[in-house]
């Protein structure tokens, strides 16, 4: 017999959405009310949200998708050369960040990085030559995300580059990323100076092989364990990676010292390079994220965001339930702090696959863990905490491994639900670097950006249409 | 006069708050017209109708706040803005520390707390998604909103039945759970009578009559106005009935509905007969709420009672039709049912010549406004007009008290009642309230009675009194 779950046994506790008057009158009677700050969904998503709710599969589908995302145990197992790692990579293939892109529509830093990579690969003698060849269609552009890979900023990955291989300890999938070049005149920010090219050559001739030998000697490195520790040491996993890079050096230290089949000056060079680059681990954190993202994709009716990525022209989003479809909107400008005499006028719109960190509960979503970079949020630690707290409203779970000391070790908000984004109007918070708009400039600053609402609105409409 | 139209993108407020804000702005000295509303198609139309310049407003959407006003000078406009900001300033104090922000949906608010009921008064087109979320997180839901599509109601109630969750509504104005009123509800005495009702004001009137007889109420579970329609099939009514049958503290069940679909009525009757507890069925159109209350008294072994009445001394009134100005749809239709034998045909719209009992709580009159139980503006206008209308002999109106209703309805009504009576009309009031209501039932009755109205606690008695006055007037 029905008892309506004891509804009739006691005074009700009422959660409200809508007019305050009704909440007031319940309180007037001495009963408890929990209010919400409700607002209508993003215009144009009403019908899709209603269809999703009526269909009924969404909650269970999201549960499945987030469980898959959280089940992966990413570990760094190898460093390989891109052309060997990617079966479909030809000598004229260049992977790039974000959704699909043509040379014609490419932004300054993206063009700069492609030019740099063409010079590095020996396909062009100088920037003008590279640009002319790119314009004639002598290269083939393809998003990293289409190949199980991710790349920060321009994300340009060319055949000779060393790539990190991250797989799931449980055997479900593999993901790749380039190795991080450091800051300054670097390819990913669109630089193509001779120092940029020289560094890339050193990375493929020394850094890649040494790291590979280290990994062969010591075995895989548990990335999730490193990231989890680093969050408790002030990293967010996107814009601050100082702690996690330090932990990485400790992990590889013994094998690096033991020899790793390389001369001592090379091993010393590798140590100094990683030690001098606080962002070395960013790319590996990203590959770990990509592994979770891929694991969560392809669950019908799920509105979980599996990818957020920008190519400097477009911001693209993918949802678990809509598979490989991209939902794009113009990449927004970044609200940030600038290096030296650079200003907003020098900045390129948002760029990079590094937003994969936000899709797996790091970066802007874990801002509360990183008081060292609160300058981006107006300089207060409380502001950073508020940003993280706001993200729980649009996420499906709290990360079981990634915890925030400031929040009594609460798990980071993880698993962005596009349906909740369009319903609440709360957009995912992203921490990011800023590239110079003019090709060859490099990094000009870092700051905050919010993902464009239009991507999520399109995604929800498309998901609703997929329900049949 | 200066005309000013502004758009504030992304500044959302609910319609009731905006109504209050519009009023606050209009009350500023020197302000002529004022409209503070979200940029819905309807409100943009309203703005155009008010003769404001639409240039620059064309792109406004439903998430953008429109502020339009005419004022004597810039100082007045500044004063109007101050009044607006004050009216719209949010009660929720932004957290300065580590507290979580206010949840954005009721489902999230419920999930983060021990709330067991979610009360929704969002615009009807958005209610389904919110209600589904509440149900999926294991919460009962009361949907105060109307204009929710019927197929969505069916889906919600099916889900509710499958998961032992009660869906009250859509269009559920009133509920009482363990003595606590949700929506429009009256302060009741503790008791062992419980109700299931597809009509908010039906429940309120029953509460008022039982209260007058000294009988308390434990639960009143609203089901929404369409629950006894064929497509919904009394889903919530049957669920609520079963739960009350199992509630050890409920001794008697009262079932209230507007006339249901025939097959559904049969199903409900069979379920009522299967109960071990006495069930008093009040299908309006077959019987009145006063008769229903009488049946409750009789089941409880109490003698019949005379319900409260504050009758004005007899005096002549001008001949003419009876005009009913109602805020409760159920009260309006019951009044028609009671008065029809004496008055003959009674219309339901303002276009009807002759007797007409109009429900100003109907969508047609509430677009862009709060319900007339909260915001009396429309009824005040119509009361003043009826007072001046020589063809109207008798004015009948309901006044609903309780939580959620206007804080002091007689303060605005009494002067107009006095004017109507001075102009020669008779005024009869159906007062729906309990002695514990925050407005003070007897003080409200006395204020209206002092102004010359005859006031009855029983809506049927008020309708009968008005019909008698009206038919005498016609005979004279």
Structural domain includes residue A380:
yes
Place of tokens 């269809």: A51
Residue A111 sits in the same domain as residue A260: yes
Q: Which of A288, A300, A395, A322 is nearest to A64 (CA)?
A: A300
Determine the Cα–Cα distance for residues A360 and A380; give it in Å rounded to an integer. 24
Say whether pLDDT at A361 is over 50: yes
Determine the Cα–Cα distance for residues A46 and A42; give it in Å rounded to an integer. 8
What pLDDT does residue A392 have? 95
Structural domain includes residue A47:
no
Residue-level length of chain A:
468
Q: Give me the mean pLDDT over the A245-254 stretch.
A: 97
Determine the Cα–Cα distance for residues B33 and B26; give it in Å rounded to an integer. 7
Phi (first) and psi of residue B12, to 5 degrees: -95, 135
The radius of gyration of chain A from alpha carbons, rounded to an integer in Å, stands at 23
Q: Which of A431, A407, A427, A408 is nearest to A417 (CA)?
A: A427
Q: Do A29 and B187 touch (CB under 8 A)?
A: yes
Closest-CA distance, A253 to chain B, in angstroms, reads 39
What residue ranges in A203-313 does DSSP mark as E strands?
221-222, 305-311
Q: Give me the mean pLDDT over the A86-110 stretch.
A: 97
Which of A15, A46, A420 faces B118 most closely, judged by CB atoms?
A: A15
What pLDDT does residue A453 have? 98
Residue A64 sits in the same domain as residue A180: no
Averaged pLDDT of chain A:
95
Q: What DSSP state is assigned to residue A438? A: S
- Residue A87 contacts B, CB cutoff 8 Å: no
B interface mutation test: which of A17, A384, A395 has the most B CBs within 10 A? A17
Determine the Cα–Cα distance for residues A183 and B470; give it in Å rounded to an integer. 90
Q: Do B177 and A16 touch (CB under 8 A)?
A: no
Determine the Cα–Cα distance for residues B172 and B230; give it in Å rounded to an integer. 18
Distances (CA, A) of A401 to A250, A288, B1: 20, 13, 64
Q: What DSSP state is assigned to residue B353? A: S
Closest-CA distance, A363 to chain B, in angstroms, reads 19
Structural domain includes residue A280:
yes
Residues 367-406 of A with CB under 8 A from B: 382, 385-386, 389-390, 392-393, 406
Residues 239-298 of B with CB under 8 A from A: 239-240, 242-247, 249-250
Residue A253 sits in the same domain as residue A156: yes
Residue A64 sits in the same domain as residue A77: no
What pLDDT does residue A380 have? 80
CATH number at residue A354: 3.90.1700.10
Q: Do A13 and B114 touch (CB under 8 A)?
A: yes
Determine the Cα–Cα distance for residues A328 and A387; give it in Å rounded to an integer. 24
Q: Do B166 and A11 touch (CB under 8 A)?
A: no
A interface mutation test: which of B43, B89, B94, B104 has the most A CBs within 10 A? B104
Place of tokens 């009824």: B379
Note down the domain range covering A6. 1-38
What pLDDT does residue A167 have? 97
Q: Give B238-281 as a DSSP string.
A: HHHHHHHHH-TT--EEEEEESSPPHHHHHHHHHHHHT-SS-EEE
Q: Do A425 and B104 touch (CB under 8 A)?
A: yes
Which of A2, A54, A390 faces B246 most closely, judged by CB atoms?
A: A2
What pLDDT does residue B98 have? 66
Q: pTM for this one?
A: 0.88
Which of B133, B139, B219 faces A8 most closely, judged by CB atoms?
A: B219
Determine the Cα–Cα distance for residues B114 and A12; give it in Å rounded to an integer. 10
Residue A403 sits in the same domain as residue A317: yes
Distances (CA, A) of B30 to B69, B78, B79: 11, 11, 9
What pLDDT does residue B448 have? 98
Structural domain includes residue A54:
no
Residue A258 sits in the same domain as residue A324: no
Closest-CA distance, B296 to chain A, in angstroms, reads 21
pLDDT tens per residue across span A303-319: 999 999 999 999 999 99
Closest-CA distance, A31 to chain B, in angstroms, reads 7
- Residue A1 contacts B, CB cutoff 8 Å: yes
**Cβ(A264)–Cβ(A25) below 8 Å:** no
Closest-CA distance, A37 to chain B, in angstroms, reads 5
Structural domain includes residue A9:
yes
Which of B15, B145, B180 faces A12 most closely, judged by CB atoms?
A: B180
Where exactly does CATH 3.30.70 map onto chain B? Answer: 2-88
What pLDDT does residue B472 have? 76
The larger pLDDT score, comparing residue B21 to residue A57, is at: A57
What pLDDT does residue B92 have? 42
Residue A317 sits in the same domain as residue A249: no
pLDDT tens per residue across span A194-224: 999 999 999 999 999 999 999 999 999 999 9
Burial-class residue B347 by CB neighbours within 10 Å (0-12, 13-18, 19+): middle
Structural domain includes residue A100:
yes
pLDDT tens per residue across span A261-306: 799 999 999 999 999 999 999 999 999 999 999 999 999 999 999 9
**Cβ(A119)–Cβ(A125) below 8 Å:** yes
Band of pLDDT at residue A377, cut at 50, 70 and 90: low
Please name the residue ranges forming H helices in A136-193: none
Q: Which CATH architecture has domain B106-299?
A: 3-Layer(aba) Sandwich (3.40)
Say whether pLDDT at A26 is over 80: yes
Residue A278 sits in the same domain as residue A417: no
B interface mutation test: which of A32, A36, A44, A389 has the most B CBs within 10 A? A36
**Cβ(A325)–Cβ(A460) below 8 Å:** no
Last residue of a domain, one of A255, A285, A315: A285
Where exactly does CATH 3.40.50.261 map onto chain B? Answer: 106-299, 309-475
Which of B92, B152, B242 faces A50 most closely, judged by CB atoms?
A: B152
User: What is the torsion angle, in degrees rounded to the nearest 10, for the CA atoms of residue B132, residue B138, residue B141 and residue B145?
Assistant: -20
pLDDT tens per residue across span B415-456: 999 999 999 999 999 999 999 999 999 999 999 999 999 999
Q: Give A332-347 as a DSSP string.
A: PPPEEEESTT--GGGB
A interface mutation test: which of B14, B123, B374 has the most A CBs within 10 A? B14
B interface mutation test: which of A3, A4, A371 has the most B CBs within 10 A? A4
Residue A211: CB atoms within 10 Å: 24
Determine the Cα–Cα distance for residues A419 and A320; give it in Å rounded to an integer. 12
- Residue A408 contacts B, CB cutoff 8 Å: no
Distances (CA, A) of A170 to A74, A174, A221, A356: 9, 11, 14, 21
**What is the topology classification, in CATH, of domain B309-475?**
Rossmann fold (3.40.50)
Q: Which CATH class is domain B2-88?
A: alpha beta
Structural domain includes residue A90:
yes
Name the least confident of A182-191, A334-343, B276-285, B438-447.
A334-343
Determine the Cα–Cα distance for residues B184 and B205; give it in Å rounded to an integer. 11
Residue A14 sits in the same domain as residue A113: no
End-to-end CA distance of chain A: 36
What pLDDT does residue B95 have? 45
| Structural domain count of chain A | 3
Residue A331 sits in the same domain as residue A223: no
The Cβ-side half-sphere exposure at B5, using a 13 Å CA radius, reads: 20
Residue A149 sits in the same domain as residue A10: no
Structural domain includes residue A423:
yes
Please name the residue ranges forming H helices in A340-440: 356-359, 381-391, 418-424
Q: Which residues of chain A neighbour B244 with C-beta distances below 8 Å?
A: 8
DSSP β-ladder status, A140-143 and A149-150: unpaired
Per-position pLDDT tens, chain B of length 476: 899 999 888 777 777 678 778 888 888 999 988 888 888 887 888 888 888 888 888 788 877 889 999 999 999 999 999 888 888 874 444 444 567 789 999 999 999 899 999 999 999 999 999 999 999 999 999 999 989 999 999 999 999 999 999 999 999 999 999 999 999 999 999 999 999 999 999 999 999 999 999 999 999 999 999 999 999 999 999 999 999 999 999 999 999 998 899 999 999 999 999 999 999 999 988 999 999 999 999 999 999 999 999 999 989 999 999 999 999 999 999 999 999 999 999 999 999 889 999 999 887 887 777 889 999 999 999 999 999 999 999 999 999 999 999 999 999 999 999 999 999 999 999 999 999 999 999 999 999 999 999 999 999 999 999 999 999 754 43
Residue A269 sits in the same domain as residue A313: no
Residues 10-49 of B with CB under 8 A from A: 10, 12, 14-17
Burial-class residue A7 by CB neighbours within 10 Å (0-12, 13-18, 19+): buried
């Amino acid at each position: 017999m029905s008892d309506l779950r004891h509804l009739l046994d006691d005074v009700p506790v009422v959660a409200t959405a809508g007019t305050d008057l009704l909440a007031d009158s319940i309180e007037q009677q001495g009963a408890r009310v929990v209010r919400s700050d409700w607002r209508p969904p993003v215009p144009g998503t009403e019908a899709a949200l209603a269809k999703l709710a009526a269909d009924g599969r969404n909650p269970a589908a999201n549960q499945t998708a987030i469980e898959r995302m959280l089940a992966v145990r990413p570990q760094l197992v190898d460093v390989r050369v891109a052309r060997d790692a990617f079966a479909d990579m030809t000598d004229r293939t260049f992977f790039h960040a974000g959704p699909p892109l043509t040379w014609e529509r490419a932004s300054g830093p993206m063009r700069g990085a492609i030019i740099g990579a063409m010079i590095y690969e020996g396909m062009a003698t100088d920037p003008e030559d590279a640009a002319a060849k790119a314009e004639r269609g002598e290269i083939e552009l393809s998003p990293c995300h289409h190949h199980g890979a991710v790349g920060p900023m321009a994300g340009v990955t060319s055949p000779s580059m060393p790539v990190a291989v991250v797989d799931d300890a449980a055997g479900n999938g593999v993901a790749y990323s380039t190795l991080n070049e450091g800051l300054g005149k670097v390819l990913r920010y669109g630089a193509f100076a001779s120092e940029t090219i020289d560094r890339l050559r050193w990375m493929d001739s020394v850094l890649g092989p040494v790291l590979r030998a280290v990994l062969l000697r010591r075995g895989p490195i548990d990335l999730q364990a490193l990231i989890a520790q680093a969050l408790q040491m002030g990293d967010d996993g996107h814009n601050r990676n100082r702690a996690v890079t330090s932990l990485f050096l400790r992990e590889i230290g013994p094998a690096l010292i033991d020899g790793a089949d390389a001369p001592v000056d090379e091993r010393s060079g590798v140590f100094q390079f990683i030690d001098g680059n606080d962002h070395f681990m960013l790319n590996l954190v990203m590959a770990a994220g990509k592994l979770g993202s891929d694991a969560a994709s392809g669950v019908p009716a799920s509105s979980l965001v599996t990818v957020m990525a920008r190519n400097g022209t477009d911001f693209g989003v993918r949802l678990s339930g809509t598979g490989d479809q991209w939902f794009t909107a113009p990449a927004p400008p970044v609200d940030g702090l600038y290096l030296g005499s650079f200003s907003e006028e020098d900045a390129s719109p948002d760029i990079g696959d590094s937003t994969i960190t936000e899709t797996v509960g790091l970066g802007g979503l874990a801002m509360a863990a990183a008081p060292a970079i609160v300058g981006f949020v107006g300089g207060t630690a409380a502001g950073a905490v508020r940003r993280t707290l706001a993200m729980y409203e649009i996420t499906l779970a709290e990360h079981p491994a990634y915890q925030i000391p400031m929040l009594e070790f609460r798990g980071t908000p993880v698993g962005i639900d596009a349906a909740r984004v369009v319903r609440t109007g709360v957009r995912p918070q992203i921490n990011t670097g800023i590239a110079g708009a003019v090709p060859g400039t490099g990094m000009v600053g870092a700051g905050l950006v919010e993902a464009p609402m239009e991507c999520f609105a399109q995604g929800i409409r498309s998901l609703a249409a997929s329900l049949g | 006069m200066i005309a000013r139209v502004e758009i504030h993108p992304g500044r959302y407020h609910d319609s009731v708050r905006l109504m209050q804000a519009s009023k606050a702005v209009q009350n500023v000295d020197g302000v002529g017209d004022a409209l503070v509303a979200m940029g819905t198609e309807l409100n943009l139309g309203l703005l155009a109708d008010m003769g404001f310049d639409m240039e620059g407003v064309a792109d406004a959407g439903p998430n953008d706040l429109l502020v339009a006003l005419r004022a004597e000078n810039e100082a007045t406009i500044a004063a109007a803005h101050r009044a607006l900001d004050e009216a719209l300033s949010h009660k929720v104090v932004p957290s300065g520390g580590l507290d979580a922000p206010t949840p954005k949906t009721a489902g999230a608010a419920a999930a983060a707390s021990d709330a067991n009921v979610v009360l929704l008064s969002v615009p009807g087109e958005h209610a389904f998604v919110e209600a589904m979320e509440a149900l999926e997180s294991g919460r009962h839901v009361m949907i105060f909103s109307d204009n929710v599509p019927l197929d969505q109601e069916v889906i919600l109630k099916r889900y509710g039945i499958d998961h032992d969750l009660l869906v009250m509504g859509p269009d559920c104005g009133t509920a009482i759970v363990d003595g606590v009123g949700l929506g429009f509800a009256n302060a009741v005495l503790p008791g062992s009578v419980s109700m299931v009702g597809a009509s908010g004001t039906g429940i309120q009137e029953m509460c008022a009559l039982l209260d007058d007889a000294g009988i308390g109420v434990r639960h009143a579970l609203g089901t929404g106005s369409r629950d006894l329609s064929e497509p919904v099939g009394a889903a919530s009514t049957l669920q609520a009935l079963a739960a009350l049958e199992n509630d050890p503290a409920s001794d008697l069940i009262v079932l209230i509905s507007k006339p249901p679909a025939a097959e559904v009525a049969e199903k409900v009757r069979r379920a009522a007969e299967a109960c071990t507890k006495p069930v008093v069925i009040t299908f309006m159109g077959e019987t009145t709420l006063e008769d229903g209350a009488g049946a409750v008294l009789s089941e409880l072994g109490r003698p019949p009672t005379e319900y409260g009445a504050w009758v004005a001394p007899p005096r002549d009134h001008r001949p003419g039709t009876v005009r009913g100005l109602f805020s409760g749809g159920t009260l309006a239709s019951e009044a028609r049912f009671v008065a029809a034998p004496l008055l003959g045909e009674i219309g339901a719209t303002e276009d009807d010549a002759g007797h007409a009992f109009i429900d100003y709580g109907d969508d047609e009159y509430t677009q862009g406004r709060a319900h007339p139980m909260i915001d009396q503006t429309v009824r005040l206008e119509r009361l003043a007009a009826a007072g001046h209308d020589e063809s109207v002999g008798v004015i009948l109106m309901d006044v609903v008290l309780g939580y959620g209703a206007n804080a002091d309805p007689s303060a605005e009504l009494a002067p107009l009642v006095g004017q109507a009576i001075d102009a020669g009309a008779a005024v009869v009031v159906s007062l729906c309230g309990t002695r514990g209501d925050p407005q003070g039932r007897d003080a409200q009755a006395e204020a209206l009675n002092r102004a010359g109205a005859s006031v009855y606690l029983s809506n049927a008695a008020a309708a009968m009194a008005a019909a008698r006055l009206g038919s005498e007037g016609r005979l004279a």
